[in-house]
Chains A and B, each alone.
Chain A
Amino acid sequence: MHELGVTQSILEIALRHANQVEAARIKEVSLVIGELSSIVDDSVQFYWDMISEGTIAHGAVLRFTRIPATLRCQECGNEFPLNQRDYACPTCGSSRVVVAGGEEFYLESIDVDLAEPQPGS
């Protein structure tokens, strides 16, 4: 599986943004993952704990917001969960549907401890 590479990307983005504000520690990383993306939360946290060691991100908690995959009917406008057997609209039966959600795959925010100002500096 490819969770290690994905986790490395997440760490790199989190550290870059934390450094920009001169953070002392990253406490939490919020990720938004659509159901159509293929990663496993537990594996990402597992790799995170390994590869973040020695960085300000070590010990951070990864929070996953999962966005369900949904379809929108172009006939009646109904939005409904993408079911894995049949893509027709459950309300009007039309098969003119489009994907409305579930493709999200981004790092939304990080919670950081800002460095204490050094007295006298």
Chain B
Amino acid sequence: MTEKIPVVENILSANDALAEQIHAQLDQAGVLALNFMASPGGGKTSVILRTVQALMDEIRIGVMDGDIVEIDLRELAALGIPVSLINTGGQCHLDANMVHRALPSMNLAALDLLIIENVGNLICPAAFKLGVHRNVVIASVPEGDDKPYKYPGMFRGADVLLLNKMDLQEYMGFNVDYFRQGVEALNPGVAFFPVSCRTGEGLDAWFAWLRGQLDSRSAAG
């Protein structure tokens, strides 16, 4: 005879459980972890480079990069910080398992901040928890002001949103109000920083936000 067995279990429960384990491991080591997500070319690596350069005299930073080649990592390694490639083998997103496997390559005891650069993609990475403390989403002006409307999942999951390449705004006709209206509907009150990694515009506000996150952690710990 056929019987219906109620289950009601999140499909990604195994990933979520592993993400919680990673989260606990990071907490124990006193490391603040950020998951950087953006489309390819949105400026993940540029923001990370700028951030490392601005903060590396104050705190100890490591970067893990979900990628198939080491091009971005070499630039970061040249700054003299610990870096590690999470080889994604062409996957469309990082998941908790990939981070978990790559984590032993980082000496967490020697870090204050761990930046994880996700695969360039506005769809899939949003669905997979990695166990980090904050999701950082980077949009950029040339992508267009309609991105929150086309990729709601990504903008909904952001804890902080950077709008990069603001130096191009006048050439692209990017409507910041329309962009923000979409973001606010999905994610009310999310921290928002318009920046340009090329000119440096707006980056100080982002650094200040990040320092605040680090301070509140060390105060809590």
A interface, CB within 8 angstroms of B: 1-2, 5-6, 9-10, 12-14, 17-18, 21, 23, 27, 31, 36-38, 69, 71, 82, 84-88, 95, 97-99, 103, 105-114
Residues of B within 8 A of A87 (CB): 149, 181-182, 185-186
How many chain B residues touch A (CB < 8 A): the figure is: 34
26 contacts between A and B (CB under 8 A): A6-B11, A6-B12, A9-B14, A13-B9, A13-B11, A17-B5, A17-B7, A21-B3, A36-B152, A36-B156, A37-B153, A38-B123, A38-B127, A84-B149, A86-B149, A87-B182, A87-B185, A99-B185, A105-B127, A106-B8, A106-B10, A108-B6, A108-B7, A108-B8, A109-B4, A114-B1
Given A108-B6, A111-B3, A112-B3, the answer on whether A9 and B13 have CB atoms closer than 8 Å is yes
Main secondary structure of the interface of A (DSSP, over half): mixed
Once the chains bind, are A111 and B2 in contact (CB under 8 Å)?
A: yes
Picked from A36, A84, A105, A110, the residue with its CB within 8 Å of the CB of B5 is: A110
6 more A-B contacts (CB under 8 A) besides A82-B152, A99-B185?
A13-B11, A21-B5, A38-B124, A87-B182, A107-B11, A109-B4
Residue of B nearest to A5 (CB): B95
| A113 B11 Cβ-Cβ under 8 A | no
CA–CA, A117 and B75, complex, Å: 65
Which residues of chain B have C-beta atoms less than 8 A from A10's C-beta? 11
> Are the C-beta atoms of A31 and B153 separated by less than 8 Å?
no
Q: Is the interface of B mostly helix, strand, loop or mixed?
A: mixed
Residue B146 CB within 8 A of the other chain: yes
Query: In the complex, are the beta carbons of B2 and A84 less than 8 A apart?
Result: no
